[in-house]
Structure 1
Amino acid sequence: MLKTAVIGTDSPIGLAVVRELGERGVPVYAIGNRPDSIGGKSRHADRFFLRPRGPLAQWLPEFVTTHEIGAVMAISEQTLAELCALRGTLPGCLVIAPEAEKFALVLDKSATLDAARSVGIDVPASWQPLAPQNENTFPTSLTYPVAVKWSDPVAMIDRLSAASLPLEKVEYADNPEALQSILRKYDRIATWPMVQEYARGYGFGQMLHMHRGEATLKFQHRRLREWPPTGGISTCCTSVPLTEHNEQMMLSERLLRSIGWEGPAMVEYRHDPATGRYVLMEINGRFWGSIPLAYHCDANFAWETWRCAVGQAKLTVSRSPSRPRHRIARYMVPDTKHLLAQMKNALPMAEKLVLLSSFIFQFIDPAACYYVWSVRDPRPFLSDIRSIISQAARRGKPAPDGSPRIPPAASTLP
């Protein structure tokens, strides 16, 4: 088995990848940004290393040579974009990453929507501002509410940071005044996010692993809760049988085939059961945030990616579980934040009671599983508890030099 470096093991995504590979005997060298990286605490990580400062190109070649690494994988979009550029440049080491131009396409939401439209997938009406706007210059076709998001978020990270502006995953505007307020923030960098129609329904993801034009593994899930509640990361999601949404799965596979995609991807929709409409949100061309659910359902995308890349199986045969396990996966700290936020909202008391009872019942639901906790691999969970307690104890206390202490971000358990 090739020694495999996994870069970015601080999150539940990286932890799931470490577990999948390690359980199958792959020697995993976990690389994280913090000493308490949860993936590095897994019993499936052979060794753990703190990520050196600087771009991958500055330190990865030496790391690969020193530790005789045979394959490299990355978790975050930003790191994966760097890794794509290193394909073919590390002698004796397989870079498991998409082609740079394919990855750039799925990062660009405008290009993704064009590709989806060409294969018959419904896409949201979109408008890309190219100059400062006011209410009088907004397209008359806009209907509210609207979602405001960057066409290529990764490309905006440095530019926004230089202007001390946060990278917002998505913002919402209920009227022209609210939209103008959002767009005006970006006048000083002369670049504006894309404005899209708000798609009703729930978050629905179809996950596929593509190899040589065919899907070798499929899975799908429905989002039950998100943080923030207006749209963000999935904090609770449930598996959906592959016997459902068949026609949409065929369209998702056709979309990935049309762009020549190789490797794992999640095609993300908003699905409205009342109308039957599926509206494409994006293609996630990396291991996605809810991959722990797929892992607990035995749909092992990290292993499938590894084995296809190194040629370890009959690659044309579908690896989708014929009867995947039904599971509900929870990302506990954000899920708790979701509950508390909804309890404070002006919701009917009956609706609040339903939310609260569902939240509590899922602790005893035999189908429930967790992003971090695993009875077979408890150390990441225990490490995360220690980190959260330590951060809470330090919060607000001055650092040794007297300056305010800024706590690092927790991975958030379980």
Structure 2
Amino acid sequence: MTTTAPPSPPCLVLGIDTQIGLGVIRELGRAGIPVIGLANRANSIGLTSRYLHRGLVAGPRRDEALVARIRALGEEYGEAVLLAISETDLTWLIANANRLGRVRAVTPPPEAFRSVLDKTRTLELARQVGIRVPVSVHCETLADWQRAAASVRYPVIVKWADPMSAARRLQPLNLKPRKLEYALDADALLAIGRRYEAAGVWPLVQEYCPGRGLGQFFFMHEGRAVRRFQHLRIAEWPPEGGFSSVCDAVPLSQHADLQERSIALLQALGWEGVAMVEYRLDEATGEAVLMEINGRFWGSFPLAVHAGAGFALLAYGLQGLGRMPELPPLADDLRCRMGSTELKRLARILFQPGRIADPHFRRRPAHEAWRYLRDFLRPKVRYYLWSGDDPRPFFADLRNVVRKLLPS
């Protein structure tokens, strides 16, 4: 039996297990593009979206079987575009892009992607274009680490320059790279270093930078930013910093000079496609310090979807098919919430303040509780998962949470 080709070339989305992949499905599906989702798990929330043309459980392995499956979908549907969500999947697609038959994988330029994964390289380029970067210490030996512990100003942040490369080095020792750690004194920093001594690889040590997370988002095409958007983190999980659980769209009239420097950084990288340039913004001084670049769709992507930014449409249309899609005006007055992580954050602030690692975190329990409740009544608030026209992913996520809590 031959499958009738849909009117627009379908878009395959690899990794539809989180709110990011769900946001991509919704943005494309609402525009009438047939979306074929490739899920890692049978309980992936993306499989329940009404905007999914077809859902498949591909599993977590990235191997020859997946190459064959993607090629088969290309033969079945004809011309197709493939988007990926995670950095791991983008790395795999870059290595296999020429083996997917009639399916065109949308990826960043390989060299630019490698530079973005290497935070040391990113920070050096940022300095060259006039962006303030945190003071960082790169250690290659335990002796380097010990010297750093004796000389840095505390508190400091510990993070990996290249998490994917670090994971490969640490895996044989059953260690995993931690996204972010705080060291309040030399003893704490030395303890972190000893954890990685057997692997012979150490993370970056960076100065602590106060403030909120400011994300600037761009779609780069032939060296120009054809679309831009930005948001300010209102709340993060964990409270001391991680990923956004509540964020506000920010008008493009604000931080205009910083936007131009972000674009200059992406141009210096030779970047094409979607990217997030993430800063720590000290609202007291107005100073923004670069944290990293995410060369992929980001955790708070649902806000960009609600705002009409159209980044998934651009990836599909401009990178995938060479066509500039029509995009609506940006909505810059929205707030977006991730209900489950916001609730965990509130519980941490109210009942477990001793577990908040940031010594400068300002704990305001009454203010946080009131904001949490008040946001349910604000007409401009949207949600990472809940959508009135596509409610099933929310309930699928709720089901998954309940199953995790129940005894096995």
TM-score w.r.t. structure 2 length?
0.91
Structure 1 window deviating more from structure 2 (187-196 vs 223-232): it is 223-232
1:234–1:194 CA distance, 2 compared to 1 (3 A):
same
* Cα distance between partner residues in 2 of 1:256 and 1:136: 35
**2:363 maps to 1:363:** no
* Cα distance between partner residues in 2 of 1:113 and 1:21: 33
Deviations 1:387-410 (A, max 9, x none): 2223322x3x3xxxxxxxxxxxxx
Assess if the C-alpha contact under 8 Å between 1:134 and 1:180 holds in 2: no
* Cα distance between partner residues in 2 of 1:133 and 1:349: 35
The Cα of 1:32 is off from its aligned counterpart by 0.9
Q: Tell me the equivalent position of 2:177.
A: 167
What amino acid is aligned across from residue 25 of structure 2 in structure 1? Answer: V
**2:273 maps to 1:263:** yes
The Cα of 1:208 is off from its aligned counterpart by 0.3
Identity percentage over the alignment?
39
1:135–1:243 CA distance, 2 compared to 1 (3 A):
closer
The Cα of 1:189 is off from its aligned counterpart by 0.4
The Cα of 1:53 is off from its aligned counterpart by 5.3
The Cα of 1:368 is off from its aligned counterpart by 1.1
**2:310 maps to 1:303:** no
**2:95 maps to 1:85:** yes
Q: Tell me the equivalent position of 1:245.
A: 255
- For 2:301, which of 285, 291, 294 is the aligned residue? 291
* Cα distance between partner residues in 1 of 2:270 and 2:181: 31
Q: Tell me the equivalent position of 1:329.
A: 336
Q: Tell me the equivalent position of 2:365.
A: 352
Structure 1 window deviating more from structure 2 (381-390 vs 258-267): it is 381-390
Aligned residue pairs total 392
The Cα of 1:183 is off from its aligned counterpart by 1.2
What amino acid is aligned across from residue 174 of structure 2 in structure 1? Answer: S
Structure 1 window deviating more from structure 2 (341-350 vs 37-46): it is 341-350
* Cα distance between partner residues in 2 of 1:354 and 1:241: 25
The Cα of 1:138 is off from its aligned counterpart by 2.1
The Cα of 1:134 is off from its aligned counterpart by 7.9
Alignment of 1:386-405 (within 5 A): 386-393=399-406, 395=407, 397=408
1:118–1:141 CA distance, 2 compared to 1 (3 A):
farther
The Cα of 1:312 is off from its aligned counterpart by 5.4
1:92–1:136 CA distance, 2 compared to 1 (3 A):
closer
Assess if the C-alpha contact under 8 Å between 1:222 and 1:237 holds in 2: yes
* Cα distance between partner residues in 2 of 1:93 and 1:135: 46
- Secondary structure, aligned partner of 1:244: coil
Q: Tell me the equivalent position of 2:3.
A: none
Assess if the C-alpha contact under 8 Å between 2:196 and 2:202 holds in 1: yes
- Secondary structure, aligned partner of 2:98: coil
What amino acid is aligned across from residue 49 of structure 2 in structure 1? Answer: S
1:158–1:350 CA distance, 2 compared to 1 (3 A):
closer
Q: Tell me the equivalent position of 1:33.
A: 40
TM-score w.r.t. structure 1 length?
0.90
Q: Tell me the equivalent position of 1:116.
A: 126
**2:89 maps to 1:76:** no
The Cα of 1:297 is off from its aligned counterpart by 1.0
* Cα distance between partner residues in 2 of 1:119 and 1:349: 33
1:350–1:17 CA distance, 2 compared to 1 (3 A):
closer
- Secondary structure, aligned partner of 2:316: helix
**2:206 maps to 1:225:** no
* Cα distance between partner residues in 2 of 1:362 and 1:118: 41
**2:96 maps to 1:96:** no
Deviations 1:57-102 (A, max 9, x none): 4422343324436111111111111011122332322111112221
Unaligned runs of 5+ in 1: 398-414
**2:152 maps to 1:142:** yes
The Cα of 1:135 is off from its aligned counterpart by 7.7
Q: What is the aligned-residue RMSD (CA, Å)? A: 2.1
* Cα distance between partner residues in 2 of 1:117 and 1:46: 45
* Cα distance between partner residues in 1 of 2:249 and 2:237: 19
* Cα distance between partner residues in 2 of 1:34 and 1:243: 42
* Cα distance between partner residues in 2 of 1:349 and 1:59: 47
* Cα distance between partner residues in 1 of 2:219 and 2:130: 21
* Cα distance between partner residues in 2 of 1:312 and 1:9: 24
Structure 1 window deviating more from structure 2 (61-70 vs 109-118): it is 61-70
Unaligned runs of 5+ in 2: 1-7
The Cα of 1:132 is off from its aligned counterpart by 1.0
Displacement over 6 Å in runs of 4+:
346-350
Assess if the C-alpha contact under 8 Å between 1:126 and 1:195 holds in 2: yes
* Cα distance between partner residues in 1 of 2:280 and 2:387: 30
* Cα distance between partner residues in 2 of 1:212 and 1:136: 45
- Secondary structure, aligned partner of 1:87: helix
Assess if the C-alpha contact under 8 Å between 2:146 and 2:190 holds in 1: no
Assess if the C-alpha contact under 8 Å between 1:298 and 1:325 holds in 2: no
**2:22 maps to 1:15:** yes
What amino acid is aligned across from residue 310 of structure 2 in structure 1? Answer: N
Q: Tell me the equivalent position of 1:411.
A: none
1:332–1:21 CA distance, 2 compared to 1 (3 A):
same
The Cα of 1:148 is off from its aligned counterpart by 0.3
Q: Tell me the equivalent position of 1:406.
A: none
Deviations 1:219-238 (A, max 9, x none): 00011111111211111111
Q: Tell me the equivalent position of 2:4.
A: none
Name the structure with the higher helix share: 2
Q: Tell me the equivalent position of 1:155.
A: 165
1:293–1:350 CA distance, 2 compared to 1 (3 A):
closer
Deviations 1:298-321 (A, max 9, x none): 112111111111345448x9x5x6
**2:383 maps to 1:376:** no
- Secondary structure, aligned partner of 1:84: helix
- Secondary structure, aligned partner of 1:138: helix
